[in-house]
Amino acid sequence: MNAVVLLGPPGAGKGTVAEVLVDKGYRHVSTGELLREQIRLGTKLGLEAKTLMDQGQFVPDDVVVGMIRDLIESVDSGSMFLFDGFPRTLVQAEKLDELISDLCGTLKNVFLLECPDDVIVSRLSGRRTCSKCGAVYHTAFNPPSDDDGCDQDGCELVQRADDSEATIRKRLLVYAEQTAPLIDYYTNKGLVDTVDATQSIETVRNAVLEYIA
């Protein structure tokens, strides 16, 4: 199996990059979705994770890595995986390396989407969501036709709590604290490909595609 890791702060455009990699045959691995699926299936790992989550505790790295191992082992050995949102810490990166090595796989690329904090704040704090249908707008990049309501149903547009500037800056601080060691870790392995995420979506996507060509 081959794998790539996608790193970048919230709002850097990881989702749009993930889309183009999925189109190229990569399987998008979301640890949150894996947890929910394991819980739905009632697996041993899922039951363990649910017990911890119900108690308000974090799911241990070993449980998350165990789910990823189960997923990788359940598909063809020639599959390609995109890890987005994992690893988040140095310990998780080391465990992922061990897992890939155990399965005779290769971590080919680590894409780092770089974007200044002020740009991130502008992107995320400008988002507005329809209170009824959930449609997402942006005050600068994708404003509704009517400033007072959703184009689809006319309902009020609201700013989610996690899109406030104060919350965004807290998230960016956590990201910087957790991810800086990861960047150094993967840079020392010669795996980091840095992409300027302030560019257009198409430019960012094309830059990533050039790296994996």
What residues are labeled active site?
A: 14, 88, 127, 160, 171
Distance CA 155, CA 171 (A): 29
Contact 184, 192 (CB under 8 A): no
- How far separated are the first and last CA of the chain, in Å rounded? 17
- Beta carbons of 12 and 197 less than 8 angstroms apart: yes
Structure tokens at 140: 């600068």
Do the beta carbons of residue 144 and residue 150 sit within 8 Å? yes
Nearest-10 crossing angle of helices 31-41, 61-73: 80
CB atoms under 10 Å from CB of 43, counted, come to 15
Integer Cα distance of 81 and 72 in angstroms:
9
Torsion of CA 134, 138, 142, 147, to 10 degrees: 80
Token reading at 6: 């996608």
